[in-house]
Amino acid sequence: MQEIIDGVLKFQRDAFPQRSDLFKRLATSQSPSTLFIACSDSRVVPELLTQREPGELFVIRNAGNIVPAYGTQAGGVSASVEYAVAGLNVTDIVVCGHSDCGAMTAVATCKCLDHMPAVKGWLHHADAAKAVNEAREHASEHARVDSMVRENVIAQLANIKTHPSVALALEQGRLNLHGWVYDIETGAIDTLDGNTNRFVSLAARPGASATPARRELIAA
């Protein structure tokens, strides 16, 4: 704990003065452009990963970067999604999974979680991803978990579309969805291409989005 306190004191002494004007502006308002939904894993730091300053990301973090479908579980995730989209008018939502995810490893390997009933119940929100992943052949245990991480990102993107605020924003064309998988060891990120439903390198395809290209209705 002392290291954390020392860090706070260093922030107040060194980092805060360098950004005093920024914090003065942020003292009374915020206007982040992006809702970033990530795992609570200590190795995943959204602001570091994206090189964003305070005020630029609205962040939700939980075990497994999960978004319960609307109405299945009233709670902080649903409220935060609604506030970000309907209150802050974010233009982008990123659901970011990551390598070596403990939550997805537990789901993919059917690890017994009876001693953690709250975790066990929470991870049922990844059941759709689990069903898809179990129906596939995997070359190794590592490949099974890696695939589960990706399927979970796809499943949570499907869940978030059930939220009324998100559905409306998507229909109005003012919101884009992004599905990322971050590799802790290499720093690489794969992003979901909504047109093919396949993950591609973000570095190679920075414009790819999980939101398929809109097909405008043609009047008869």
Residue 114 located in a structural domain: yes
Closest alpha carbon to 209 in 95, 46, 125: 95
| Distance separating alpha carbons of residues 46 and 41, to the nearest angstrom | 11
What pTM was computed for the model? 0.93
Provide the pLDDT for residue 213: 73
Within-domain flag for 13: no
How many structural domains comprise the chain? 1
Tell me which residue of 32, 203, 130 sits closest to 191, measured CA to CA.
203
Q: Write out the two tokens for 81.
A: 């999604």
Expressed as residue numbers, the domain containing 183 is 31-201
Cβ atoms of 166 and 60 closer than 8 Å: no
pLDDT at site 169: 98
The per-residue pLDDT for 212 is 82
Instruction: Please state, in angstroms and rounded to a whole number, the distance separating the CA atoms of residues 58 and 178.
Output: 15
Whether residue 62 is contained in a domain is answered as yes
19 domain residue, yes or no: no
Which are the catalytic amino acids? 39, 41, 43, 98, 101
145 belongs to a structural domain: yes
CATH number, domain with residue 175? 3.40.1050.10
Q: Considering only CA atoms, which of 49, 62, 193, 44 is closest in space to residue 118?
A: 62
pLDDT score for 215: 53
Instruction: List the chain pLDDT tens, one digit each, 220 residues.
Output: 999 999 999 999 999 999 999 999 999 999 999 999 999 999 999 999 999 999 999 999 999 999 999 987 778 999 999 999 999 999 999 999 999 999 999 999 999 999 999 999 999 999 999 999 999 999 999 999 999 999 999 999 999 999 999 999 999 999 999 999 999 999 999 999 999 999 999 999 999 999 987 654 434 4
In a domain, 208, yes or no: no
Specify if 45 maps to a domain.
yes
16, part of any domain: no
CA dihedral of residues 69, 100, 102, 142 (deg, nearest 10)? 90
Report the half-sphere exposure of 111 (CA within 13 A, side-chain side).
17
